[in-house]
Chains A and B, each alone.
Chain A
Amino acid sequence: MSAPEASVQVSFKNRAKTALADRTLKIAIDRTTGTAEAKRAVAVAAFPEFQDARARGRAIKDHVIAYLDHYLEQFERNATASGAKVHWASDDAEARAIITRICLDAKARLVTRSKSMLGEEIGLPHALADAGIERVETDLAEHIIQLAGEAPSHIVWPAMHRTREQVAELFKIAHHPPPAADDPATMVQSARRELRAKFLGADIGISGSNFLVADTGATCTVTNEGNAELTTTPPRIHIVTAGIEKIVPTTAHALSLLRLLVRSATGGELTQYTTFHCGPKRPGDADGPEEMHIVLVDNGRTRMLANEFREMLRCIRCGACMNHCVVYRQIGGHAYGGTYPGPMGSVLTPVLNGLAGSRDLPNACTMNGRCAEVCPVEIPIPTLLRAWRIRSWRERLEPGSLRAGIGVWAVLARRPGLYRLASRIGVRAIRLFGKGGWITRLPLAGGWTAHRDLPRPTGRTFMDQYRAQQADKGDRP
């Protein structure tokens, strides 16, 4: 997929700039996020218990996070009893090694995969390619980006950066025969035809998991296309990859969270397909895999348990935060440069990739709070982004100019008398750069005046004027 030169560091600001210049991208983003926002609003309005459900969702997640070890061990016991094999991976490399080993041991040549962000997080597509295994993405959007050689740009709609017109072009070249027309229904039929043979010919199916149910040992996947069922049932071996935070105590808890997840993600009441996988095929079962492997991945999650990002473990990957984010809606997912984009990604990417290389992400946020407002499990995302800024400040990762600027400002702001004097001088100086009411260019403020005018300070500072008024009043008898 990505050539070696893709690994050359391109800064967030450059990626954002490229994205901002791409008008087709903006059309694609607006279509998807606009629809998602409107549908979510309708779904929430039609669900009067939404706030209570949210509080319950948060409580469920907080509980399992507090007793994560207990529920994970319970899950392992029950999954093992159902005939599945549970593997533990402490990081992405271990997870890749486990999965590749299972594939190679089974002499697998063709693997089907249903969409999973965890698979992206651990670099599974590359690992399979490196092992010489053909990988077929079965989710329609993942199919699109596989054909395009791209990474997901959204956690629910991985191909949301492409317009349907662009997808039609892609299918025309990649599908044999090409779709007869470029309306969505014909294109979907074409993709189904392309994928059908792969579903039936795969040696191994790999899926993610939306919930791991501790008391049954089941894993749960939700999709709207049915591709997860066709990925996990026909092949001889089913591999599930899941982050350890996906655990819930019981099926009822999974369903409570599902009500929040679907409404927040797509505005639906329920996904078209909700499947619980409990062990491999049993004697007498008509179908199902002969082997089921569950790979539980930590990859930084237990570190989050013990630090200020613990609340992020509540995340159920609905994507509502990015759909409602003004920054995401301008630059799209690829500009973020990590597996997870948008507000939730700006919290997670520094966990996964380190803060030094992703310092921009928690900073490129206006702190408007809309992400937290729509989060179905009440994650205080702006607070977590600020926590990264605090770390970044402590670790001195900011550009020296910003530190110096804040430093000088703080020295003045902490001395009111001096501050009065400085603002008096500053206001006079700034006024020199304007004519009339506006300043169109101001040294050191190019970031502002490149795009907008600056209202010229109207005259003396408030404090000066106020003091003069008070003195006048005092003079009067």
Chain B
Amino acid sequence: MSGQPNPRVGLFVTCLVDAIRPSIGFSAIQLLEEAGCRVEVPQAQTCCGQPALNSGDEKDAAALARQTIAAFEGFDYIVLPSGSCAGTIVHGYPNLLANDPVWAPRAQAMAAKTHEITSFLVDVMGFHTKGRRLEATATYHDSCAGLRELGIAAQPRALLAEVEGLEMRGLEGNDVCCGFGGTFCVKYSDISNAIVTEKAEAIERTEADLLLAGDLGCLMNMAGKLNRRSARTRCFHTIEVLAGRAGGPAIGEEG
């Protein structure tokens, strides 16, 4: 990797974090700065384009890919608090723009320096969670895109293991999809509901205080289901816990 002590990092907060839960974006800035990064948030960012990409709308997806590349390619690294959106940049963009002689190399260069945040902190920055304490039990759901497209599994667990007082509990089916799937959850609402119901049951069986995951989409789906079931599990993005924000409101709790 770079070996740079203070890399310039472009933070892509993602459209969901921007609209629904800014706390995740501020946790990202805090952790990246603790790791020694100089963080900037380009104003030209909107959405990575995944809704278009997964709907088969290549034209709009490619337009958003070019827009995002132009906004971010000047940074040493591009970091996102989402394995799903990071996966779109790392794998989706080079495929989308493969036949464009100008943009294909730019997409590949961008892909090579784009990371999901927990993997960036561990694999690139060698970051350790220091001085965090949280007396709680928690379980962790592996979001599919991060797990399978980017190999994110050990990094968040390593960082969470360094939080004093936090007891991690295994989740049955931790690597099974929660039924979110972007537009899938509204297009095939009944099927999605059956899937997330099983997920919620597995989470409830752990009797953990907290559910943690690395993608807000999946978290909204699971937290929304848990709340509908009147479960007491509180849901946070992994990096909110790492940034010491688990004392504040969980997803769906009033601030």
Residues of A within 8 A of B (CB): 13, 16-17, 20, 326-327, 330-331, 363-370, 372-373, 386, 388-394, 398, 402, 406-407, 409-410, 412-414, 416, 419-420, 423, 426-427, 436-438, 445-448, 450-463, 465-467
Q: Are B56 and A416 in touch, CB under 8 angstroms?
A: no
Of B20, B57, B181, the residue contacting A367 (CB under 8 A) is: B181
B220, CB-defined interface residue at 8 Å: yes
User: Which residues of A have CB within 8 Å of B181?
Assistant: 365-368
Closest to A410 in B: B60
With A393-B55, A393-B58, A458-B23 given, name 8 new contacts (CB 8 A).
A368-B148, A402-B55, A407-B60, A416-B43, A420-B43, A454-B224, A455-B224, A463-B18
Given contact pairs A416-B45, A436-B254, A326 touches B179 in the complex (Cβ within 8 A): yes
Please give me the residue from chain A that is nearest to B225 by CB atom.
A452
**In the complex, what residues of A have CB within 8 A of residue B205's CB?**
none
Whether A458 touches B22, Cβ cut-off 8 Å, given contacts A367-B54, A368-B177, A389-B56, is yes
Chain B contacts with A in 214-244, Cβ cutoff 8 A: 220-221, 223-225, 227-228
> What are 17 A-B contacts defined by CB distance under 8 Å?
A13-B188, A20-B194, A366-B182, A366-B192, A367-B182, A389-B55, A391-B56, A410-B57, A414-B60, A437-B251, A451-B228, A452-B193, A455-B224, A455-B251, A458-B20, A463-B13, A463-B43
Question: Which residues of chain B are near A407, meaning CB under 8 Å?
Answer: 60
Mark B residues whose CB is within 8 Å of A: 13, 15, 17-23, 25-26, 41, 43-47, 49, 51-58, 60, 63-64, 67, 144-145, 148-149, 175-177, 179-196, 220-221, 223-225, 227-228, 249, 251-255
Among candidates B25, B149, B221, B225, residue contacting A466 with C-beta atoms closer than 8 Å? B25
Closest to B42 in A: A416
Chain A residue at smallest Cβ distance from B197: A451
User: By the criterion CB–CB under 8 Å, are A466 and B53 in contact?
Assistant: no
CB distance from A426 to the nearest CB of B (A): 7
B-side contacts of A455, CB under 8 Å: 20-21, 220, 223-224, 251-252
Instruction: Give Cα A272 to B67, complex, Å.
Output: 57
Contact of B185 with A426 in the complex, beta carbons under 8 Å: no
Identify the closest chain B residue to A327 (Cβ): B191
Contacts of A446 in B (CB 8 A): 189
Chain A CB within 10 Å — which of B17, B175, B180, B188 has the most? B188
B51: chain A residues at CB < 8 Å are 406, 409
Residue of B56, B191, B227 touching A364 (CB-CB under 8 A): B191
Given contacts A406-B51, A412-B46, contact A452 B190 (CB under 8 A): no
- How near does chain A come to B162, taking the closest CB pair, in angstroms? 26
Known pairs A368-B144, A370-B148; A452 contacts B196 (CB<8 A): yes
- Residues of chain B within 8 A (CB-CB) of A450 are 189, 193
Which residues of chain A have C-beta atoms less than 8 A from B255's C-beta? Answer: 458-459
Bound: A445/B189 CA distance, A? 10
- In the complex, residue of chain B having the shortest beta-carbon distance to the beta carbon of A362: B56
Query: Are A461 and B254 in contact, with the CB atoms below 8 A?
Result: no
Chain A residues contacting B20 (CB-CB under 8 Å) are 455, 457-458
A364–B177 Cα distance when bound, in Å, is 13
Kindly report which residue of chain A lies nearest to residue B21, judged by CB atoms.
A458
Max count, chain A CB within 10 A of own CB: residue among B191, B196, B254? B191
State whether A447 touches B252 (Cβ < 8 A): no
Q: When chains A and B are docked, how far (Å) is the Cα of A134 from the Cα of B173?
A: 46
Contacting residues, chain B, for A327 (C-beta < 8 A):
188, 191, 195
C-alpha spacing A181/B252, complex, angstroms: 54
Cα of A460 to Cα of B23 in the assembled complex, Å:
11
**Contact across chains for A370 and B176 when beta carbons are under 8 A apart:** yes
**Which interface residue of A437, A445, A446, A467 has the most chain B CB atoms within 10 A?**
A437
Contact B252 A461 (CB under 8 A): no
Q: Which residues of B contact A389 (CB under 8 A)?
A: 54-56
Pick the most buried of A13, A406, A412: most chain B CB atoms within 10 A of its CB: A406
Q: Is the CB of B25 within 8 A of A370?
A: no
Q: Complex formed: what's the CA distance from A234 to B223 in Å?
A: 61
B180 touches A366 (CB 8 A): yes
> Are A461 and B22 touching (Cβ within 8 A)?
yes
Complex CA gap A365/B180 in Å reads 10
Q: How far is the CB of A72 from chain B (nearest CB, A)?
A: 32
**In the complex the two chains form, is A423's CB within 8 Å of B18's CB?**
yes
Q: Which residues of A contact B56 (CB under 8 A)?
A: 386, 388-394, 398
Measured between beta carbons, the chain A residues less than 8 angstroms from B21 are 455, 457-458
Cα distance A423–B189 in the bound complex, in angstroms: 24
